[in-house]
Amino acid sequence: MTVDTRVTGSIERGLLVLLGAGAGDGPTDLAYIVDKVTNLRIFPDDAGKMNRSVLDIGGGVLVVSQFTLYGDARQGRRPAFTGALEPVAAKALYEQSLVAIRAAGVSRVEAGEFGADMKVDLVNDGPVTILLDSRKSF
């Protein structure tokens, strides 16, 4: 991941987490997401079955702040971002997520730069994309 030409984060095998913080999100939401990210069994075991977590494989986690996940495009042609958590609180929650993922045992946790225009390169092996929501609203 780069900001301008500077690399801000990079991992090999593991998870790319696009982290969006919504209005009202707090410690309980963060704990739910961190538990899911670190323990979700989505990597293959020796039989090729999704049965291992990022902790099990010794993988890394690259976390990117992504307020645009809260873009609401149900009306009109331009998304509204009113559901996103305000920037100061969102940045704090984002930074807390990095600490919490490390505390959960992930040895390599890398990050983007909050609020920056980032370029993210991804090799999606699988592909497996999972949507997690602490409010289970979908």
Which residues are identified as catalytic? Answer: 66-68
Phi-psi region of 87 (alpha: psi -120 to 50; beta: other; left: phi over 0): alpha
What are the structure tokens assigned to 111, written together? 């990050």
Distance between CA atoms of 80 and 71, rounded to whole angstroms? 5
As a whole number of angstroms, the distance between CA 64 and CA 16 comes to: 8
Task: Give the C-alpha separation, 53 to 41, whole Å.
Answer: 4
